[in-house]
Amino acid sequence: MDKPLKFKEQLASEDIENIRKLAASYEEPLPDDAFPTYNPRTIIDEDPPVVDPATEPNEIGRLSAEAVQSQYEAAAKSVEDMGLAVQDRIKKLENALRECDRDMKLLGEVAHTIRDKGNLVYAQIEETSSVSKDLRTIAEGFRVKVTSP
């Protein structure tokens, strides 16, 4: 008769450690720098040039347009950085999902093993009951032969 397998014996030690690490990663809060933020004040590296509006009216418009364009470009770059952070999170979630799928398959195998053992025990009990019934019948027959004159 096979020795029944315990659940921990079926899991490799590295699987148990991976499950513990995965569970711990869900308990940790996201770091403050997990997603980049946009702060328009930090984008300007230098002070804008001083322009005399009376002598250079077109220059003011050009500088204003450049400033607005640089702010939009910085905002777009920040959004792209956020997209990269989201993609990184998606990859981590996909890896976690693959690990969960593998673990679910393992749990399915364990459940199948438990069912097989349950069916084996059921068959053994039925067989034992049948043998016990036969023994009672034989014993009753002997008792009748021994006690009858």
Q: Examine the pLDDT at 1 and tell me if it is beyond 50.
A: no
Q: How far apart are CA 61 and CA 59, in angstroms?
A: 5
Question: Above pLDDT 90, what percent of the chain?
Answer: 34
- Is the pLDDT reported for residue 2 higher than 60? no
pLDDT-based confidence at residue 53 (cuts at 50, 70, 90):
low
Residue 89, pLDDT above cutoff 60: yes
Which is more confidently placed, 98 or 46?
98
Q: Give the angle subtended at the CA of 94 by the CAs of 89 and 100, to the nearest 5°.
A: 125
Per domain, the residue ranges of the chain are 36-147
DSSP state letter for 55: T
In the DSSP assignment, the letter for residue 41 is G
Classify 51 as helix, strand or coil.
coil
Instruction: Report in angstroms the alpha-carbon separations of 56 from 46, 61, 111.
Output: 21, 9, 82
